[in-house]
Amino acid sequence: MTDVLDRYFKLKERGTSVGTEVRAGIVSFFAMAYILLLNPLILGTVEDSNGDVLGIPQVAAATALVAGVMTILFGAITNYPFAIAAGLGMNTFVAVTLVMGEGLTWPEAMGLVVIDGIVIVLLAVSGFRSAVFKAIPASMKSAMGVGIGLFIAMIGFVDAGFVKRIPDAAGTTVPVSLGDNGHISAWPTAIFVVGLIICGFMVIRNIPGGLFLGIVITTILAVITESIVGAGSSADNPKGWNLAVPQLPESLGGMPDLSIVGAVDLAGAFVRGGVLATSLLVFALVLTNFFDAMGTMTALGKQANLADEEGNLPDMKKALIVEGIGAVAGGAGSVSSNTVYVDSSAGIADGARTGLANIVTGVLFLLAMFLTPLYEVVPIEAAAPVLVIVGVLMATQITQIDWNELHIAIPAFLTIVVMPFTYSIAHGIGVGFIAYALMTTFAGKAKQVHWLMWLIAALFVVYFAMDPILALVS
């Protein structure tokens, strides 16, 4: 059996083993498991124009199903350790913009997600996505990797309550603070700090499976702490646990409710909102999906040492097609577009190098449909330290950028900082690409800008002006 896995997944060729891939796949799952709690909160409680809601249990089950199937499919076909799940940002766009803002029903909104996925797949099949990948300069690919690293770290800090937003009513020009007024006053955040120290020790001492052990040890500490202090959920206590409360489950779960799977209307949105206005919404979905996945795959490929010197992945076209299918599957499952997940970088940091790690992660997602209480034992505060450490590891790519050339440095810097500041990979890429085209032209080197970079920059200009354009069309 081991020989079969070795031949199929090229384990020895990539310097890994079955044990390492299994362990790293588990790490990826727990680094991503928060989506099984967060996606239902974003999608499951919003009423559409008919007064219908998807329901939290239904969204949780379908989120696990689609993530499990697509993660396994991606690992088996591409042999990359890049897990797939419902994309953050995309789910908010679907709930807030399409359903609440445009007044679409849930089937109509998910129909647009399916169409978005079909367009993404067609762009991948045509070779256009691969061509765009290759047209991006090496400096911008490195900047995307660093920016995503900072973005991951920012997610970890915010989810753990280490960095908090200061309410607008406070009347301060400082938007965020460390903890509460510069102090760590919540037990969950204190556990995060301890977990960060543990994970730092693990990677510095180069302990095999260190990040996995870090999550396990921190979770045990969290369970013990909760049993003593009873902080509870942040929904009831501002100083409680952000998502899952670390306590032993009373039951092992039950049969999942998959009733929302397949509830899709492909034409309804165009009838309700008009062809032109709805087409602009699809454009926004496609552009976000396209570059979120592109930036993530570029960064993960470099982190896993699977990319060449130009940052390109082998068999890229195949991977892009399968990733595009994730958007179709997400829409069909009524859980929003599924895409390559940046948090799978945690598994890569723990040694994942092949699709075998994806198989493990995907199986755990499928099991989560039935064993929901078990994965809820691990709070986000126990997984967040891994995200910060991964951010450190990905930020090392900053040395590959020539900071002495300002026409390279300025767009690279903007790409890096806009991602965490706006909580969006696509926004960082868009600002960076526009800046790259302009700054390179200012330096008298316009001929060095690939025509695809000009096209992408122009598309992002339209994307950033989407609200006034939609208002004009309406």
pLDDT per position as a tens digit, 426-436: 888 889 999 99
d(CA 202, CA 179): 25
Q: How far is CA 375 from CA 76, 175, 198, 246, 397, in A?
A: 24, 33, 21, 10, 33
The reply to whether 81 falls in a domain is: yes
The per-residue pLDDT for range 310-345, each reduced to its tens digit, is: 667 888 888 889 999 999 999 999 999 999 988 888
Q: Which amino acid makes up residue 324?
A: G
Per-residue pLDDT for 255 more than 90? no
Choose among 419, 430, 424, 429: nearest CA to 459: 430
The per-residue pLDDT for range 192-205, each reduced to its tens digit, is: 999 999 989 988 98
Residues with Cβ within 8 Å of 445's Cβ and at least 6 positions away in sequence, in order, are 407
Reported as type and span, the H/E element at residue 340 is strand 338-340
Exposed/middle/buried for residue 421 (C-beta within 10 Å: 0-12, 13-18, 19+): middle
Per-residue pLDDT for 212 more than 90? no
Choose among 286, 282, 277: nearest CA to 128: 286
Per-residue pLDDT for 367 more than 70? yes
The reply to whether 253 falls in a domain is: no
Contact 121, 329 (CB under 8 A): no
The reply to whether 257 falls in a domain is: no
d(CA 423, CA 418): 8
pLDDT band of 6, cuts 50, 70, 90: confident
Give the pLDDT confidence score for residue 289 in this predicted structure. Answer: 80
Q: How many CB atoms lie within 10 A of CB 41?
A: 16
The reply to whether 202 falls in a domain is: yes
Per-residue pLDDT for 146 more than 70? yes
Which phi-psi region, left, alpha or beta, contains residue 241 (left: φ > 0; alpha: ψ -120 to 50)? beta
For residue 473, the number of C-alpha atoms closer than 13 Å in the C-beta half-sphere is 15
According to the per-residue pLDDT averaged within each range, which of 47-51, 87-91, 336-340, 384-388 is highest?
336-340
d(CA 138, CA 142): 6
How much is the pTM? Answer: 0.77
Reported as type and span, the H/E element at residue 426 is helix 425-442
Q: What secondary structure does DSSP assign to 165-226, as a single string? A: EPPGGG--S--EEETBTTB--SHHHHHHHHHHHHHHHHHHTT-TTHHHHHHHHHHHHHHHHH
Tell me how many domains the chain contains: 1
Q: How many CB atoms lie within 10 A of CB 227?
A: 11
The reply to whether 256 falls in a domain is: no
The reply to whether 208 falls in a domain is: yes
* Percent over 90 (pLDDT), the chain: 35
Q: What are phi and psi of 22, to 5 degrees?
A: -65, -50
Q: How far is CA 8 from CA 20, 308, 344, in A?
A: 16, 21, 21
Cα–Cα–Cα angle for 435, 147, 403, nearest 5°? 60
Residues with Cβ within 8 Å of 155's Cβ and at least 6 positions away in sequence, in order, are 384, 387, 423
d(CA 381, CA 245): 10
Question: What's the rounded mean pLDDT across residues 178-186?
Answer: 85
Greatest CA separation found in the chain? Answer: 67
Q: Which amino acid makes up residue 244?
A: A
Residue located via tokens 């809601």: 53
Q: How many CB atoms lie within 10 A of CB 11?
A: 20
pLDDT band of 230, cuts 50, 70, 90: confident
Question: What's the rounded mean pLDDT across residues 214-227?
Answer: 90
The reply to whether 259 falls in a domain is: no
For residue 110, the number of C-alpha atoms closer than 13 Å in the C-beta half-sphere is 23
d(CA 207, CA 188): 25
3-state secondary structure of 344: helix
Residue located via tokens 């087409």: 279
d(CA 362, CA 375): 14
For residue 155, the number of C-alpha atoms closer than 13 Å in the C-beta half-sphere is 27
Exposed/middle/buried for residue 173 (C-beta within 10 Å: 0-12, 13-18, 19+): exposed
Contact 263, 330 (CB under 8 A): no
Question: What's the rounded mean pLDDT across residues 226-246?
Answer: 86
* Least confident piece of the model among 92-106, 129-143, 159-173, 224-238: 159-173
d(CA 83, CA 28): 8
The reply to whether 254 falls in a domain is: no
Look up the domain containing 196 and give its range: 1-248+264-472
Buried/exposed code over 21-35 (b: 16+ C-beta within 10 A; e: otherwise): bebbbbbbbbbbbbb
